[in-house]
């Protein structure tokens, strides 16, 4: 394959696309979903698109055919699918032209492009396959007892230590798929540098039968390295050799790339950003331990299937692209500042937290890909909790509050574990689904009542993502759907969705304060903070000096 084309011709301002002006005009005349001749049975059936086992129903969004045509023109003019393809082929998508930046390819899609003879980025897929084979051998050795503890017993637990992208995605996937874990295997996670978290988790484990998977792409993250040392100390206290229990997932050449300290070391690559890394070894070592290789391959197949579906240029046939454009419609044309993701599946309890990072760290930006101030709003605030719990908590504001909150509902026709009963005429799963569908209709259609306090304005935009059952394959597809959505939005806003400079300043200042703590521990005469009057004032004001 030829070297991938440069993305720079697509570094065009959002406002420069003709479709933006057209859509701004259309936004003055929105469909009224409270009218029976607008929100019709025909609309519900027609505003629907499917891919990789998911139906996206978008009758509840404030769009009509003219607006959808306008969004299609925006997608075409901004070259969203072309950019996505170039990214998948290895274009250097993580960069800011004319400024120092990470300057990297963005190839998380390559680590699941493993099932065809002609992967789009062959070198990256080959490297991913190599790591997967290493994992497969490791899992086999665990299963047949070639790898065991010093007493010859099998390992039953795995503790993952990592933070941010090295925690949120993997943890969300494990919880989503815990129903499929091998009965004798469990996974635990510690991310926070709060020592109580580590102490609590360690107190539940038989360390002699526990593997610890330390995950850090950079191999330098303060929280992760501190937690690794805490865990190593606990193993040493228990008379156990950490080199027989600790695994590493890190970047090649990182300070953690020292196989002599670990039972096994796995690699992730520069071209995979932390929040996009759940389908690399960052997530797969943990998932492979818990579920086995088969479900891991299913997860990758689902993700790969959705990555392919996202190449479709017609927005009415591409759920990821359509979701991106509906989000842009709500954000840039209707002025909505947040989006709530509400899964009607307890197994997705941490998926919202993963999406929060994926979306807000990717698209919470104020400069474009040339380093200039943005001319449009970028990513919204993303939040969410599983339904129906949320219905008994914050849905009041979504239905009747003064802030409009677009909603993305996620649900499944069947439950995961099959433990369900007919109670008062319906199963629990039916109750879950009836609530999901009812909320969607209620938000869209509203309800007029003589009592103003009991009136529902309606026209509150929402969509439904509906799958058959939350299987490993479905989870892979759902993950990739959201990754593609976020990437498409970043391309449309002309921002670099793959760096995270906004987290650096806080890290630097925390390190400076830690220098003060360490300096004072070493010497009563510590004077370092004289150069840091604000830090000193803060330590004094909080009584921590
Ligand atoms: C994600 C970010 C960030 C990162 C963590 C952990 O995209 O880059 O959340 O994943 O800071 O970094 P390490 O894996 O290097 O420890």
The predicted-structure confidence for 364-378, as pLDDT tens digits, reads as follows 999 999 999 999 999
Per-residue pLDDT, averaged over 289-313, amounts to 98
**396-416 pLDDT tens trace:** 999 999 999 999 999 999 999
Q: What is the mean pLDDT of residues 243-263?
A: 97
Tens of pLDDT, residues 193-217: 999 999 999 999 999 999 999 999 9
- 417, pLDDT greater than 90: yes
pTM of the model: 0.96
Instruction: Report CA(533)–ligand 1 centroid distance (Å).
Output: 30
Q: Which two tokens stand for residue 28?
A: 């003055």
Ligand 1: residue whose CA is nearest its atom 13: 216
Ligand 1 pocket at CB < 6 A: 163-166, 216-218, 221, 224, 273-275, 361, 500
Angle between helices 65-77 and 319-328 (to 10 degrees): 100
Instruction: List, for residues 42-58, the tens digit of each pLDDT value.
Output: 999 999 999 999 999 99
pLDDT level of residue 4 (50, 70, 90 thresholds): low
Phi, psi of 341 (to 5 degrees): -105, 120
Determine how many CB atoms are found less than 10 A away from the CB of residue 336.
21
Q: Which residues are catalytic?
A: 361, 392, 507
Partners of 215 in beta bridges: 249
CA of 330 to the centre of ligand 1 (A): 29
Helix (H, G, I), strand (E, B) or coil at 211: strand
Hey, which of 221, 223, 248 would you mutate to test ligand 1's pocket, going by the most ligand atoms within 8 Å of its Cβ? 221
State the distance from the centre of ligand 1 to the C-alpha of 421, rounded, in angstroms. 43
Q: Each residue of 382-400: pLDDT tens digit?
A: 999 999 999 999 999 999 9
Q: Which of the four pLDDT bands, split at 50, 70 and 90, describes residue 529?
A: confident
Grouping H, G, I as helix, E, B as strand and the rest as coil, residue 158 is: strand
Average pLDDT, the chain: 96
Pocket test for ligand 1, best of 108, 165, 213, 221 (most atoms within 8 A of CB): 165
Q: How many CB atoms lie within 10 A of CB 312?
A: 17
pLDDT at 1: 43
Distance between CA atoms of 89 and 47, rounded to whole angstroms? 32
Residue 2 above 60 pLDDT?
no
Kindly write down the DSSP assignment for every residue of 288-327, as one continuous string: HHHH-HHHHHHHHHHHHHHHHHTT---GGG-HHHHHHHHH
Nearest atom in ligand 1 to the alpha carbon of residue 282 is: 14
Query: Strands across the sheet with 381-383, in order?
Result: 48-51, 54-57, 462-467, 407-412, 338-343, 381-383
Sign (positive or negative) of CA dihedral 409, 414, 420, 422: positive
What is the per-residue pLDDT across 162-180, written as a single tens digit (0 to 9) for each? Answer: 999 999 999 999 999 999 9
Nearest CA to ligand 1 atom 5: 164
Task: Convert the pLDDT of each residue in 29-46 to its tens digit.
Answer: 999 999 999 999 999 999
> Which has the closest alpha carbon to 529: 519, 544, 542?
519
Report how far apart, in Å, the C-alpha atoms of 132 and of each of 156, 159, 180, 307, 519 are: 21, 20, 20, 19, 45
Name residue 190's beta-bridge partners. 161
The percent of residues above 90 in pLDDT, for the chain, comes to 93
What is the three-class DSSP state of 440? helix
Q: What is the mean pLDDT of the segment spanning 113-141?
A: 97
Per-residue confidence (pLDDT) for residue 524, from 0 to 100: 81
Q: Which tokens is 95 given?
A: 């960069």
CB 107 within 8 A of CB 90: yes
Given ligand 1 and candidates 225, 274, 286, which is best to mutate, with the most ligand atoms within 8 Å of its CB? 274
């Amino acid at each position: 394959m030829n070297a991938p084309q440069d993305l720079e011709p697509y570094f065009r301002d959002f406002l420069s696309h003709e479709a933006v002006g057209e859509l701004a005009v259309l936004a003055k005349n929105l469909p009224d979903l409270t009218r029976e001749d607008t929100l019709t049975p025909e609309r519900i059936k027609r505003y629907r698109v499917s891919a990789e086992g998911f139906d996206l129903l978008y009758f509840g969004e404030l769009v009509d055919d003219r607006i959808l045509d306008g969004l299609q023109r925006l997608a075409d003019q901004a070259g969203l699918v072309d950019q996505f393809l170039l990214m998948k082929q290895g274009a250097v998508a993580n960069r800011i032209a004319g400024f120092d930046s990470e300057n990297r390819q963005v190839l998380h899609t390559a680590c699941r492009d493993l099932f065809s003879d002609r992967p789009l980025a062959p070198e990256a897929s080959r490297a991913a396959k190599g790591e997967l084979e290493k994992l497969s051998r490791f899992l086999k050795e665990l299963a047949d007892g070639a790898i065991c503890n010093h007493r010859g017993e099998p390992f039953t637990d795995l503790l993952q230590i990592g933070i941010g992208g090295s925690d949120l995605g993997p943890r969300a996937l494990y919880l989503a798929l815990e129903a499929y874990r091998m009965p004798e295997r469990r996974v635990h996670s510690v991310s926070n540098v709060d020592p109580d978290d580590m102490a609590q988790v360690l107190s539940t484990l038989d360390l002699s039968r526990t593997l610890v998977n330390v995950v850090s792409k950079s191999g330098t993250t303060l929280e992760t390295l501190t937690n690794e040392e805490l865990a190593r100390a606990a193993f040493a206290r228990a008379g156990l050799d950490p080199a027989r229990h600790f695994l590493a997932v890190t970047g090649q050449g990182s300070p953690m790339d020292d196989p002599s300290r670990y039972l096994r070391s796995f690699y992730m690559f520069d071209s995979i950003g932390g929040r996009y890394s759940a389908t690399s070894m960052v997530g797969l070592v943990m998932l492979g331990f818990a579920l086995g290789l088969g479900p891991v391959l299913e997860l990758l197949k689902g993700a790969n299937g959705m990555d392919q579906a996202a190449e479709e240029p017609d927005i009415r046939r591409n759920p990821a692209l359509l979701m991106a454009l509906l989000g842009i419609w709500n954000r840039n044309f209707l002025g909505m500042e947040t989006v709530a993701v509400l899964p009607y599946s307890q197994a997705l309890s941490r998926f919202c937290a993963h999406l929060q990072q994926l979306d807000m760290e990717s698209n919470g930006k104020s400069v474009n890909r040339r380093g200039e101030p943005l001319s449009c709003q970028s990513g919204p605030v993303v939040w969410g909790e599983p339904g129906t719990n949320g219905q008994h908590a914050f849905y009041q504001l979504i239905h009747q509050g003064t802030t409009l909150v677009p909603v993305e509902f996620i649900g499944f026709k069947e439950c995961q574990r099959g433990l369900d009963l007919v109670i008062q005429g319906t199963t629990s799963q039916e109750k879950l689904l009836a609530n999901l569908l009812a909320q969607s209709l209620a938000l869209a259609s509203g309800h007029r009542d003589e009592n103003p306090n009991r009136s529902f304005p309606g026209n509150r935009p929402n969509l439904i993502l509906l799958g058959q059952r939350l299987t490993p394959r479905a989870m892979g597809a759902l993950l990739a759907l959201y990754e593609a959505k976020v990437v498409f939005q970043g391309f449309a806003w002309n921002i670099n969705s793959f760096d995270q400079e906004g987290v650096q300043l806080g890290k630097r200042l925390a390190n400076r304060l830690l220098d003060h703590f360490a300096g004072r521990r070493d010497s009563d005469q510590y004077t370092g903070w004289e150069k840091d009057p604000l830090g000193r004032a803060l330590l004094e004001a909080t009584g921590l000096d």
